[in-house]
Amino acid sequence: MAAAAPPPRLVTRIVLEFMIDVLATATRAHGGDIKAMVVFMAIQHANIECVEIDPGRPGGGFGAFLDDDLRRPITTHALAQSVSLPPPETCRRYVQRLLAAGYCRRIDERGLIVLGAVLAGEPFADAVDSTQVAFVRMLRAMHAVGFDVFAAAALHRGLPEPTVTLAPESMRLAL
């Protein structure tokens, strides 16, 4: 007989604790400015969302870091739409601050990218490490309360591929 699923409120609490940990860590990397953190993360996400993780290659195909020439730039206009910071000028101001701090670079008229070297340096390397620690802590808590990640994935996305595993470095970069 299968174990009963944990109460949804307990699962929600565990996930919220993870989210708060990640947001607090990421916001500290931006001097406590949550809007700057959101804009930075949106640029970073847009840059790499087009790249597929390849479990057959070391580091999932990312190596130590994704090569900057593989990052897809995002325009300030598309960025403003993606983060919904009204008015769009607010997003432009944050982009200017990130550019001035050296956290991102404008690639011609194509848009903005976050460089791999920026992510490898402080304070972002610590934020990535802290995110991985928080993620593993969340997974352990979910397991402890009987939450079956694979069963949940099967319900919502079809059966998970059991042969796909992420090495620690790949998981760290994916986070």
Mapped onto helix, strand or coil, the DSSP state of residue 45 is: helix
Distance separating alpha carbons of residues 24 and 65, to the nearest angstrom:
24
* Helix/strand/coil for 163: coil
Match domain 8-174 to its CATH number in 3.30.2290.10, 2.70.150.10, 3.40.50.300, 1.10.10.10: 1.10.10.10
Q: What is the pLDDT of residues 22-64, one digit of tens each?
A: 999 999 989 999 999 999 999 999 998 887 777 776 666 555 5
Structure tokens at 97: 């601050």
pLDDT bin (cut points 50, 70, 90) of residue 123 is confident
65-121: pLDDT as tens digits: 678 888 999 999 999 999 988 888 999 999 999 999 999 999 988 999 999 899 889
Distance (Å, rounded) from C-alpha 148 to C-alpha 67? 35
